[in-house]
Structure 1
């Protein structure tokens, strides 16, 4: 009788699970832009997907103040990211008119208000509503007990519904970790790194303990030794100087004036962390102090003044700004050291830190606007700015999400390092990966790891080094040990390598690749790591995703698919394809060797004509 009952329960167990959660082709943890693009890409390939988001809103940082898109070369990253940018531009054109100030300030769709980003994500998901389910207030706790494994595959995950206070179970064929923290991968047993590698480990610029002035040299005290510490988090504030839409920050209940007192001397002395400080003398600083005491502003070259002393602001439409941590400051909206536990902490701890960071940020603003020891001219400048009244209406006009710049970095088939983003020689590309799933471009960029230290004129861990447009190998989203998991957000990289991958355009592109890979894995009944990368690339290119960037070829070019294919296979490695130019003898010989086809049969043809012919013959 007992065995009979067990068999009956076994028959109905999947139905019970479905009632408590759901069954989908692709289960995505994290409503970040990377997670959203994963769902859209999978849906366009005909697969069902669910996005499980812990908060009450999807959209990650672009919907929470990061309105100044972090990309150094526009056109390097395309596909769904370009669609996102296009929707932003369309919004401002349709609402305000093509010749409006708002359209000008949106910078072709790359600069936007938080609520507009949230709206655009909804618009992009709307056509996929038959196959994509979005569930908010669904919390995943990074415990192995919340992942049901069968061998090297995830069969289901358990999610805590924060509204009903009940546990739900989600069954999937492919799972995606789109969290900023890497929670799902860690719970599933994927190895990961936290903190900084030493310089010796991968011979990376910027690695380990490092003191560096902004745009300046590395300083004494830099040991380049690794540690387990992570770069600071902050909130990307949406500030405005429009009196009709401005709410002045109030003094938080747990205000600690002592935390901000160092700002007073910085203002009067003109102290900041830029390269110009190397030429500042004590005499200049004393003269600056007297000038400010008499009612003037700073005279130290390069020294930010007023609101710019504590935030680095980029203009957005409607008199708003994306106010980030000031990279020239020794005290700003970042809160180093106190976030070190975040990657592996539970959500109770994370929520406490989020509140602490909010109070710290509001306290800094209030201090800069009101403290008795600051000069009146400085305070008057800061008082021009306040929180935007029409943003985050359910959260006191304050961002809902902490800027988690770096959590766990899950280990994958490829470990992306700083050297993958730096040119192999002057004027050349970084290493070219034939298995690329996106091109991308941003500097190697990390925020401080430690707070201000006595005797140091720079913060440990803060760096910015120029990179070049690079290719991202498929292996950075293919985790070790788990066969049906993809990791487009907590991607496989060193601390310095991750410092460029972690930008939202790149995360969106990796999400698109993850969605396509998930769909192909299901269609072909193969583990994701056994997919032919050429199949993933072909599907990406058809969706106008750039895998290798050329300055003279856009996604709208009739040669786009051809040059992506031939470029990744090494036929064209210069920054320009130069398709209308003649072929030189050395290139003709190289192409003949690579293809096994004599190029002299195409005598008198241009580079483009020959490449098109080779493409049709090879492919």
Structure 2
């Protein structure tokens, strides 16, 4: 979809040959608007430049049921915005305002703050002096000079133009020691789950549950033995290998069953039913599957729902977005239009293809677009959901441990808490010709974690007057949790304040007074820490050598949990499934040879196994100790002792927790080694 030129500059009548501002924000996303409004409130002159016709990114462009994680981690500007949007119209839940209400709320806040906004103008070039950006020129030839710049785009276009280091794709497990990193083929996880009927009459029934993964064995080949549409050959990578692929994109669609505002789903001009063969096979594998099991329908307000992807085949369009992050305008427009046609075609297929059961066709046709949303775009959402574009490699790279174990940061300027959620990267053929989901997971929890200011700043040698609150410095795995709009907005809030501080101090953004920034954020009611975390047992504070389950190698599919009082706030369990195929291997470096007491922690419960094998590999051989996880550890201890063993310094101690032949749920938390006297 190519955007027609539209110029909107709040407070100005026509384009300028040149304009001077304290702060130039590129990207009218919620983070960009947050940073611009905050900086303007602090007295800065601000312009926000948005390459599309519409401001507000996903929050005004389709994603109306915001993912918030733990609500008590959200304060400052994002809480102010969502509270104002909810109050703008009766019967609107907090966080879940309609897209047009979110848009009008942003417009009001921008006008109140005096922020100038330019739309439909993309970045053409920049000028630099040393490590400083001095100007940004848009396609119409206007140059915007600024003292500070913020890249708030989903793609990271300004930072790329400034030659700031970045990455597209997935790191390997070895690069940052992240167990979830890299190429990640998913096994078939059979499930047929009975779902309670909700307040929405088309939600419910039997079918694949709201988790990613392949729910049953489905052939990915046509009659000639070739892959059907959307299925890719297995790249034959080792699990955990790096590549340049990103998780799938989609549109978050505002839908309704209200007859007074319902617009039927359109049929795209390029409609091709062959593109939905896998969807048809999924429907046939789950007779009676309902519309509300193929999609995630989140209730918003006033009879509207946010339709999102779930499961193996939905509005996600895996494998078609890989060229987008680094793509030029034509490439991105092609991908945008392809996603529009594919998703519209899917909804049309479900409502009209005679191979689809009549009941499912009737359910699909009972839904439609909303007449009072996106009226200037044929009621289709404005924003393609770019879940992951470029990611900066800045002063500090956040990785998996920063979300689960090393969660405290002295320079925290915001918090995240959403689970580590990655949508399908690609669908691949297994050796037997069946389909496998690759790259997805969404049942790995994150603790409420602090986000360091250093992750918003480029390396100081690369650029000293740029802040990046969206394509911030994080690994693929960390970004899978960070990538939530309230988090972006909180980081935009911090970036707006930091930019003003850098201007006033005439210093690089890397050198601002971060304690003063944190103080100012707290005055603005931002959330930088949670008192509830003070009582959490932290592995870094325990004696001896401690390794959490997140640092260990996990074999098979383990489920994350915060049940009990686990070390570092999380543990895992085997869900009492696939016995004999799952294990957790702790390889612990021994600094000094000698005898060590081996201890394990776990959450006890009546449904836990009483015969969990823990295998200890030591200098004298291997010993297996059975642990009764139905029995709680001693009250005055976190761990159960398995005995004393001798380890050498030239090889790691290896402790393995297995679920072989166990008679209940097997849990795994931390392992501790205490040197014996």
Shared topology, TM-score over 0.5?
yes
Q: Which stretch has the larger CA shift, 248-257 or 28-37?
A: 248-257
Deviation at 1:19, TM superposition (A): 4.0
Map residues 100-499 of structure 1 onto 2, 5 A cutoff.
Answer: 102-103=91-92, 106=93, 109-129=94-114, 132-141=115-124, 146-160=125-139, 166-212=140-186, 223-270=239-286, 292=287, 297=288, 305-326=289-310, 328=311, 330-422=312-404, 424=405, 430-454=406-430, 455=433, 458-464=436-442, 465-480=444-459, 481-499=462-480
- Contact persistence 1:210–1:218 (CA under 8 A): no
Deviation at 1:347, TM superposition (A): 1.3
Which residue of the partner structure matches residue 501 of structure 2? 520
- Tell me, in whole angstroms, the C-alpha distance in 2 between the residues paired with 1:502 and 1:407: 11
Structure with higher RCO (Cα < 8 A, 6+ apart) = 1
Deviation at 1:206, TM superposition (A): 2.1
- Tell me, in whole angstroms, the C-alpha distance in 1 between the residues paired with 2:315 and 2:106: 27
Map residues 60-99 of structure 1 onto 2, 5 A cutoff.
Answer: 60-92=57-89, 96=90
Cα distance change of structure 1 residues 89 and 72 upon mapping to structure 2, 3 Å threshold: same
- Contact persistence 2:213–2:437 (CA under 8 A): no
Map residues 547-562 of structure 1 onto 2, 5 A cutoff.
Answer: 547-551=528-532
- Tell me, in whole angstroms, the C-alpha distance in 2 between the residues paired with 1:515 and 1:550: 26
- Tell me, in whole angstroms, the C-alpha distance in 2 between the residues paired with 1:133 and 1:453: 50
Deviation at 1:51, TM superposition (A): 0.1
- Tell me, in whole angstroms, the C-alpha distance in 2 between the residues paired with 1:159 and 1:307: 44
Structure 2 gaps of 5+ residues are 1-14, 190-209, 216-233, 535-566, 570-677
- Tell me, in whole angstroms, the C-alpha distance in 2 between the residues paired with 1:232 and 1:343: 12
- Contact persistence 1:67–1:112 (CA under 8 A): yes
Point out the structure with the larger helix share: 1
Cα distance change of structure 1 residues 462 and 552 upon mapping to structure 2, 3 Å threshold: closer
Deviation at 1:413, TM superposition (A): 0.5
Q: TM-score, normalising length from structure 1?
A: 0.74
Deviations 1:220-262 (A, max 9, x none): 9871111011111100000111122111112211011111022
- Contact persistence 1:209–1:225 (CA under 8 A): yes
Deviation at 1:355, TM superposition (A): 1.0
- Contact persistence 2:23–2:47 (CA under 8 A): yes
User: Which residue, 487, 496, 499 being the options, matches 1:506?
Assistant: 487
Structure 1 gaps of 5+ residues are 1-17, 97-101, 161-165, 271-291, 298-304, 425-429, 554-572, 576-619
- Tell me, in whole angstroms, the C-alpha distance in 1 between the residues paired with 2:163 and 2:278: 44
- Note the aligned Cα RMSD (angstroms): 2.2
- Contact persistence 2:407–2:448 (CA under 8 A): no
Cα distance change of structure 1 residues 552 and 412 upon mapping to structure 2, 3 Å threshold: closer
Deviations 1:550-595 (A, max 9, x none): 3499xxxxxxxxxxxxxxxxxxx999xxxxxxxxxxxxxxxxxxxx
Cα distance change of structure 1 residues 173 and 443 upon mapping to structure 2, 3 Å threshold: same
SS class of match (2:249): coil
- Tell me, in whole angstroms, the C-alpha distance in 1 between the residues paired with 2:260 and 2:101: 19
SS class of match (1:442): coil
Deviation at 1:526, TM superposition (A): 0.7
Between the two proteins, the alignment pairs up a number of residues equal to: 476
- Tell me, in whole angstroms, the C-alpha distance in 1 between the residues paired with 2:241 and 2:146: 42
Cα distance change of structure 1 residues 218 and 197 upon mapping to structure 2, 3 Å threshold: farther
Which residue of the partner structure matches residue 286 of structure 1? none
Point out the structure with the larger strand share: 2
Deviations 1:442-467 (A, max 9, x none): 11111111135354554111111111
- Tell me, in whole angstroms, the C-alpha distance in 2 between the residues paired with 1:539 and 1:31: 24
Deviation at 1:183, TM superposition (A): 0.3
Which residue of the partner structure matches residue 636 of structure 2? none
Cα distance change of structure 1 residues 196 and 393 upon mapping to structure 2, 3 Å threshold: same
Q: TM-score, normalising length from structure 2?
A: 0.68
Deviation at 1:215, TM superposition (A): 5.9
